[in-house]
Structure 1
């Protein structure tokens, strides 16, 4: 038995039944089910989802403030008045800044951009930057992907006489900035869709400014839309769907250079953006000023772009090393200082790079299943600045807003936030958030949840079905990549990877073969018996190698609901083949007073094992003297894993077992000869008859016990008047028969036979418990 690491949530009531094959002009039942899960039921809605079009984009002028903002920019263009684009330093902010600069230039506006330095200025607009803009002659500032929380800064801009146009998508706080115009989906009651990324809002502004849908900016829109993890539905689905096509064919030098440095071939998908392009653009602003990332995307020279892309790639490698080092320190702080992680993790340390703390927070969330705030300390200023990431059940924005007074600055979303805190507020902030979590969350909320679409059989996995599921792409927030539950016994399990920390499976159905890859689950290798029926959850896909397409499931979690048998009979190297998880209860049982067990486990007698009602694992070190000793123990306990670790020093089974005819012939020979000298004649007789000596000795000893013969100094003579007895009246005969049966059943049986035998006795307890419950009711 192996318990799943995550909580499995079947999100659709009934598994799909019947024919799943595609019908002419239609969809398979499985694909229809996936669409229904996403709220899509009607054929027209299916077509809109599966075949996005630009007609599905909403009128940008439905956004409040759009007309006023566009008019002001056109006024600036006509007057030759310079406009400053104020951006953010993440991938959404960089792509938003690039898009807005190009749109303004296309509209004839003199413009430049400004992105604050994360380390010296922090997040969002600041008075010093606005003063710089004013002093530099700018009359208009347009923020992208930032500004909705800049109440004081907006007031300062107004004092200076700057017209501040805010375009943003972050959560709206209690007070809106007093800006010239605010373009934000969530402040626009008439706008149909509220979940655009910052770059999506900038795209809508560009649409309104230029008078037509600026499709030539789609390669920029897709970067921020996917990297910022906004829901890929409605307009975001259209923008990301066409954006992926655009970026795959983009001639923009910056995109071409990123392609080259990342060794991207062929079509890009959402995973390319999320795991390859996005992290590299993010890396620039995490370690230094983000301007080079914007310069890369704005570059018109491939040679220049390639130099910048190589530099950015190097920064990303440096970022990875910094993240690994800080994450290690943070993990040690959580474990050492708190033992068990608090309901909400808050860790802070001087010297931590604020630019990477969001990634570190994500790592802590994955490791400890807790919301995490990670802060870098500036002792000179008396503040800590950093980022937060959260679990599904804990809305970081809403809950932190309940203790807004603890922060100097705060902003973000349900699952991610940034903040600045005074050092003397850290402990109070931690306690406040822990108190909120204890009040609102249950133990189950701290377990990662896998939303499973439905159960499918291995034989239902096909290339055609996977291709149909792929029509739902791009996957992301709001349209997650479908996860399926499968149940099958793997034909093969092996460890892969340079560190042997991944698992590879092969599942053989009646008609299909499916490979399974489980990254990071190599620790389960010794916990999986070869013939276990395995439940697993994963993503269906196709692995193409050397022109061949293999069906594949990327496994996210594994469970085994039945007890498991591990067959190590006859092995002399148990410690190489068995792993004892430190948190589980294991015992080693000996029926014949063994003194030592692998892993320094206590050697227990059967009655000591029965003193405990349940065990995670039991190692059986030797065979019992009588089968009843083992069966009684098995019936008395519940056990998840049984390890057959015994071997035979001397086998009864391999010795020739005498039949009744053998006994009859031997007794007849004694009657005829009158005496038999075991010392001199046993080997001769065994050789002549094709027996072995032990068989001669055994027959002799049984006859002696039944008082058919006398034995003195190795000489057998027949009793003159023996009583009539059956062979089974000999305890020696019964004992040998029992030993033979036991060896045949427990040692020389096949794995399947041994598993079935254990099944009969291990299941007795669970059957008995069920009967007691039923009778009790």
Structure 2
């Protein structure tokens, strides 16, 4: 039995028969997936499966967008300078590019400014605004930031700058006094409030240009997918058409970026989320983000290739820095944290702290705040990531006064605070988290859409599921469960750190691949069903396409037998809860972290356990049966070895007993000290065989033995050979070795199952006797 690492949550089944009847060409599985996403009508299903640009909302419904557009057009007509104030992540960089391209198309006198993460931090700042005023800027348009810039908005007003804020981040208690705020969450008449920063910038660009700027959709896809906003409603349409735009893009910068990412063919959401987005983010994490904007803005293919190569180098350096900080932070955590993880150290690169926090969350299933000390200020600054069950934004806002700066979402935030407040913040957050969550909430949760039969899994189903793409927040890639006995299981990879399974049924073959799950190979036992959960996909190799499941977790519900018989060294597997070791004698070493019992331990003292390691064979099978029945182990490790096997030593036949007894009766007495070798030579017997036969006859009263001399008993009582204790003990030992040591795996497992089911094995019939 193997526990899953995550909480498995099966989605409720919905009634999709009517929907399937109304739609042609969809499988029952896909119909169920649509219902689980709240899609219950044919019209909604068609809109979801075939997103249409016509279903995008009119930007006119965003509060103040007309006012903002009129001000920008006025600035253009009066030749006033306009500054686009961006952000240094992929959403911010793509937002900046969208706004710049729209303004340039309108003939604006414009430029952009992205604050340096290390010297200025996130969002607008007074110094930058004052510098902009000195340089003659009359209008500042923020993209992907600004909703928390209360102080900076007042400064802009004092400086005579009209500040237009376009943002999508969480709205805080006080709104900035800006010329205009374009924010879906501040727009009661706008039907969708989950746009990314680039989505808001695109809406403003559309309003400014007076037409739908389809040529900017490749940029919209990058920011929308990379910022992990819910891929539903407008975001789904942006991602759907934007990925196609990325596939056929003529933007030299994006083409060069695709080349260094080795992206060929159709661009997918995984390409953006794991390849394009991280590289654009890397620039702003290690230096100012100007290079990323310049890459997306350039029209020169040669220059684009040079800049893309530089971006690639920065990303490699970013990965090295992250790995080092993770190693140091992990050492600080030093075990299983109780509540919220907070680690801080001078010298850590603040640009990558969000990535470090994410890695700590994945490892420890706890929210993590990773901070670096700001030299000479007495403050620390960093990023936070959370677990799904804990709203980090809401809980940090309860103690907002302890932060110098704070902003973000429920699952991610950025912050600055006085160093002396760190302990108090951790104390408060720990109190909040333990009030809200149970122990199960700390485990990662996997939502499973359906249990599939192996015969359900094929290329057709995978292609049908892909009609639900692009996948992302609020439209996750479906996860399925399959319960089967694997035909093959092995570790793969240079370090054997990946797990590969093969499931077979009739003509159906499905492979399972578990990345970084190689350690679970040791827990797989023969003929035992596994329940695996994961995403379905297609594995293409040398032109062959096969359906596969990419594993996320695994569990085993049945009890398991681990066959370690005859091994010189027992493989100790870390099982949860208690481990009990059965030993034949007290002298043997005790298994680590285990209770120790022997075959003489009082049965009444035993309790149910998870794991039972059996190091030595019993002298009585019934005794082992009693222990199994009392402890009801979920996992049994058979670890016994035999040095001198009774089973492999030939048992004297009935004829051999008769021959030896006839010899004694004829001779009346035999001095074994003198005649042992003669008998051994004559019969080809071993010394031990002759001694055993003599002992059996002695125990039955057929002979007397004095000083190695065997005397016949003239009036023996007729008895069966099995009445001899030595004879019976040897038969018993043979049966024990046969059942428990020389049996094959299936026979041994059946023996233990009979113990658990309290099924008694039939008594052995007497086969030898006089």
- What interval of TM-score do these two structures reach, taking the shorter chain for normalisation? over 0.9
Mean CA deviation greater in 652-661 or 529-538 = 652-661
C-alpha distance in 2, partners of 1:433/1:603?
A: 42
C-alpha distance in 2, partners of 1:334/1:175?
A: 36
Please give the residue correspondences for 1:496-645 in structure 2 after superposition, counting only pairs within 5 Å.
496-574=492-570, 578-581=571-574, 585-596=578-589, 604-608=597-601, 611=605, 613-645=607-639
One of 719, 728, 742 as aligned partner of 2:713: 719
- Cα offset, 1:536, TM superposition: 1.9
One of 460, 463, 472 as aligned partner of 1:476: 472
Aligned residue in 1 for 2:85: 86
- Cα offset, 1:596, TM superposition: 3.2
Q: Per the alignment, do residues 109 and 341 of structure 1 end up closer, same or farther by CA in structure 2, a change over 3 Å counting?
A: same
CA deviations on 1:523-563 (whole Å, 9 max, x unpaired) are 33333334432222111111111111122211111222233
C-alpha distance in 2, partners of 1:301/1:363?
A: 38
- Cα offset, 1:480, TM superposition: 0.7
Aligned residue in 1 for 2:152: 153
Q: Per the alignment, do residues 398 and 592 of structure 1 end up closer, same or farther by CA in structure 2, a change over 3 Å counting?
A: closer
One of 754, 763, 767 as aligned partner of 1:760: 754
Conserved? CA contact 2:23–2:42, under 8 Å:
no
Conserved? CA contact 1:127–1:156, under 8 Å:
yes
Give the secondary structure class of the aligned counterpart of 1:639.
Answer: coil
Aligned residue in 2 for 1:237: 236
Aligned residue in 2 for 1:6: 6
Aligned residue in 1 for 2:443: 447
Aligned residue in 2 for 1:164: 163
Aligned residue in 1 for 2:351: 355
Aligned residue in 2 for 1:420: 416
Please give the residue correspondences for 1:215-364 in structure 2 after superposition, counting only pairs within 5 Å.
215-335=214-334, 340-364=336-360
C-alpha distance in 2, partners of 1:189/1:265?
A: 42
Q: Per the alignment, do residues 441 and 478 of structure 1 end up closer, same or farther by CA in structure 2, a change over 3 Å counting?
A: same
- Cα offset, 1:25, TM superposition: 3.1
CA deviations on 1:164-219 (whole Å, 9 max, x unpaired) are 11111111112211211111111111111111100111111122222222111111
C-alpha distance in 1, partners of 2:682/2:617?
A: 33
C-alpha distance in 2, partners of 1:24/1:666?
A: 89
Conserved? CA contact 1:261–1:310, under 8 Å:
yes
Conserved? CA contact 2:14–2:36, under 8 Å:
no
- Cα offset, 1:95, TM superposition: 0.5
CA deviations on 1:88-147 (whole Å, 9 max, x unpaired) are 000000011011111111122221110011111111011111112211111111111011
C-alpha distance in 2, partners of 1:104/1:708?
A: 116
Aligned residue in 2 for 1:113: 112
C-alpha distance in 1, partners of 2:627/2:317?
A: 58
Conserved? CA contact 1:656–1:692, under 8 Å:
no
C-alpha distance in 2, partners of 1:758/1:557?
A: 28
Give the secondary structure class of the aligned counterpart of 2:406.
Answer: strand
CA deviations on 1:219-241 (whole Å, 9 max, x unpaired) are 11111111101000011111101
Aligned residue in 2 for 1:654: 648
Aligned residue in 2 for 1:770: none
C-alpha distance in 1, partners of 2:128/2:470?
A: 38
Aligned residue in 2 for 1:768: none
Please give the residue correspondences for 1:673-752 in structure 2 after superposition, counting only pairs within 5 Å.
679-687=676-684, 697-711=691-705, 718-752=712-746
C-alpha distance in 1, partners of 2:442/2:479?
A: 20
C-alpha distance in 2, partners of 1:647/1:738?
A: 17
Give the secondary structure class of the aligned counterpart of 1:321.
Answer: helix
Q: Per the alignment, do residues 178 and 649 of structure 1 end up closer, same or farther by CA in structure 2, a change over 3 Å counting?
A: same
- Cα offset, 1:245, TM superposition: 1.2
- Cα offset, 1:710, TM superposition: 4.3
With normalisation by structure 1, the TM-score equals: 0.92
Conserved? CA contact 1:22–1:28, under 8 Å:
no
CA deviations on 1:275-325 (whole Å, 9 max, x unpaired) are 111111001111110010000011111111111111111111111121122
C-alpha distance in 1, partners of 2:736/2:488?
A: 30
Aligned length: 753
Please give the residue correspondences for 1:354-503 in structure 2 after superposition, counting only pairs within 5 Å.
354-503=350-499
Q: Per the alignment, do residues 471 and 73 of structure 1 end up closer, same or farther by CA in structure 2, a change over 3 Å counting?
A: same
Q: Per the alignment, do residues 12 and 664 of structure 1 end up closer, same or farther by CA in structure 2, a change over 3 Å counting?
A: farther
C-alpha distance in 1, partners of 2:398/2:308?
A: 42
- Cα offset, 1:495, TM superposition: 2.0
Mean CA deviation greater in 709-718 or 74-83 = 709-718
C-alpha distance in 1, partners of 2:533/2:575?
A: 26
CA deviations on 1:713-738 (whole Å, 9 max, x unpaired) are 76656432221212222212211111
- Cα offset, 1:363, TM superposition: 1.4
Conserved? CA contact 1:595–1:603, under 8 Å:
no
- Cα offset, 1:613, TM superposition: 2.1
C-alpha distance in 2, partners of 1:180/1:737?
A: 98
Mean CA deviation greater in 85-94 or 631-640 = 631-640
Q: Per the alignment, do residues 134 and 608 of structure 1 end up closer, same or farther by CA in structure 2, a change over 3 Å counting?
A: farther
Q: Per the alignment, do residues 185 and 23 of structure 1 end up closer, same or farther by CA in structure 2, a change over 3 Å counting?
A: closer
Give the secondary structure class of the aligned counterpart of 2:550.
Answer: strand
- Cα offset, 1:266, TM superposition: 2.2
Give the secondary structure class of the aligned counterpart of 2:535.
Answer: strand
CA deviations on 1:22-69 (whole Å, 9 max, x unpaired) are 999332111111111100121221111111111111111111111111
Conserved? CA contact 1:682–1:693, under 8 Å:
no
Conserved? CA contact 1:85–1:100, under 8 Å:
yes
C-alpha distance in 1, partners of 2:659/2:21?
A: 74
Conserved? CA contact 1:373–1:388, under 8 Å:
yes
Give the secondary structure class of the aligned counterpart of 1:139.
Answer: strand
Mean CA deviation greater in 658-667 or 204-213 = 658-667
> How much is the aligned-residue C-alpha RMSD, in angstroms?
2.6
- Cα offset, 1:352, TM superposition: 1.6
With normalisation by structure 2, the TM-score equals: 0.92
Instruction: Name stretches of at least 5 consecutive residues in structure 2 with no aligned partner.
Output: 760-770
